[in-house]
Amino acid sequence: MTRLVSPRFRTYAVLGVVALIGGLASGRPELVAVSAPFILLIGLGLMGTFDLSPVLEARFDRDRALEGEDVHLHIAITSRAVRLLEVSCDLPAGLSVAPDQDDPLITLVGETGVVIRHGGGLVDLTVRLSCDRWGAYRPAWIRLRNRQGLTQFVHVGVFPVDLELRVYPRTDTLRRLFQPVETQLGFGDLVSRRKGEGLEFADIRPFSPGDDPRRINWRVSATGRGVWVNDRHPERNSDVVLLVDTLASARRGVGVVLDLAVRAAAAIAAGHLGRHDRVGLISFGEPIRWLQAGMGDVQRYRILDTLMESHVHWQLLWRGVRVVPPGALPAKALVVGLTPLLDDRVIEAFGELGGRGFDVIVIEIPPEPFLPNAEKPPDRVARRIWKLEREATRSRFARHGIAVVRWDPSEPLQQALVNAQSYRRSRLRARA
């Protein structure tokens, strides 16, 4: 640990030296007497300092948590006995020290640390932390601070630690999900438009050699027009690819927009995985990151871990979706985009995916609440032009069969999904 002098030591030293030199120079013994207490305090302080020689180890009680939950940081400190020891941690934004602590060693709670009594030897300290926001947190160091020598000296030691905590967002449960145009061959909860083995009745047809006798419709066959069998719709799953826009074009409120996009992506992924769909993820940034479509709880945690690493990227160079491998965008996949529709590169990427024949749905996170007020007439004119350009973008998407749905964050995400499905049904009826 490094020993530092406190402002009190400097004050004692200045007063003692000035009084001593002044008394000797002027021949006034009362000034020398005035300097004596300060010099005595400095001497006692030097005699009362010692090296703590601490050894520190730290770990979290778990490596995953949900927003709003508390986690415990266990710190083992081995050192000489001191009256008070300040323990602070490199807590990133999103983690904070809980105001009420359970450990009896803690005497005072601060914003990033606590003050404890250390009786010497090995002390196990448990600090309760509050998970205020989702994210991947990696505290880099823990600092010990102790005042000695009548508080004239401060011993400070910074110890690097290898800690990692992933905090997942709390998401809404979606009761109604997206219905893709085309299903895949895997088993799931979706009723395929094709006919085959399944539970949902589709039609009847004449009996053919090789048909399962259990599929014979005896009521229709009893009319004497031959033997008829039932056709059914098989239960299939779908491929869903989530596209999260992390290319920052909104200077104000960009963190809130990304937060909404991540929460929505986590909720949609959880819902479709629960329906036995295969879900993948593509993060629009530089570099572009992707996760191939998969199923089950393992895939859910993979998606959550990838979303926790999402950050805002200010990039001028972007290579587009051409670098995404075919495995990350399987054929007949339903592509769901989460974006504020501010970056022209992202708009072009959605248009390119729609041109390739993908079934694309864009959930627009409106950036208007984060824009400055347009008070001057030129600003109001520019705002109207900007709104017209955004409306033209939505119209262009609609002409190419891309559904664009605005999601008001004050409303549940479920409402945006319902609006998207209603829009898609109306488009299909219009085409028919």
pLDDT given at position 313: 53
Above pLDDT 90, what percent of the chain?
A: 12
Q: Please list the residue range(s) of the chain that carry CATH number 3.40.50.
A: 239-431
Answer yes or no: is pLDDT of 401 > 90: no
Cα(333)–Cα(181) distance, integer angstroms: 9
pLDDT tens-digit series, residues 210-252: 777 777 777 778 887 788 877 776 667 788 999 998 875 544 5
Mean pLDDT over each residue of the chain, to the nearest integer: 81
Edge-to-edge strand ranges of the sheet holding 95-97: 55-60, 70-79, 121-131, 95-97
pLDDT value of position 145: 85
Whether residue 387 has pLDDT greater than 80: yes
Separation of alpha carbons 413 and 327, rounded Å: 28
Kindly indicate the confidence band of residue 346, based on its pLDDT and cuts at 50, 70 and 90.
confident
Q: What is the CATH number of domain 55-168?
A: 2.60.40.740
pLDDT at 121 over 80: no
pLDDT in the model for residue 151: 65
Residues of each domain in the chain carrying CATH 2.60.40.740: 55-168
Q: 411 pLDDT exceeds 80?
A: yes
- pLDDT tens across 140-173, in order? 888 888 876 566 777 888 889 899 999 999 888 8
In this predicted model, which residue has the larger pLDDT, 302 or 371? 302
Contacts of 157 (CB under 8 A, 6+ apart): 1, 2, 52, 54, 143, 144, 145
Amino acid 277: pLDDT: 87
- Are the CB atoms for 120 and 79 separated by under 8 Å? yes
Give me the residue label for tokens 């948590």. Answer: 65
Read off φ and ψ for residue 61, nearest 5 degrees.
-75, -15
Q: What CATH number is given for 239-431 in this structure?
A: 3.40.50
| Mean of pLDDT values over 25-32 | 79
pLDDT (0 to 100) of residue 197: 65
Model confidence at 71, pLDDT cuts 50, 70, 90, reads very high
C-alpha separations of 335 from 124, 351, 426 in Å:
50, 12, 19
- CA quadruple 355, 359, 361, 362: dihedral sign: negative
User: What's phi and psi for 23, nearest 5 deg?
Assistant: -70, -40
Q: Write the pLDDT tens digit of every residue in 262-279.
A: 899 999 999 988 888 889
Q: What is the pLDDT of residue 266?
A: 92
Measured CA to CA, the distance from residue 291 to residue 293 in angstroms comes to: 6
Angle at 205 between CA 202 and CA 211, to 5 degrees: 95
pLDDT tens-digit series, residues 178-206: 887 776 666 555 555 666 666 666 767 78
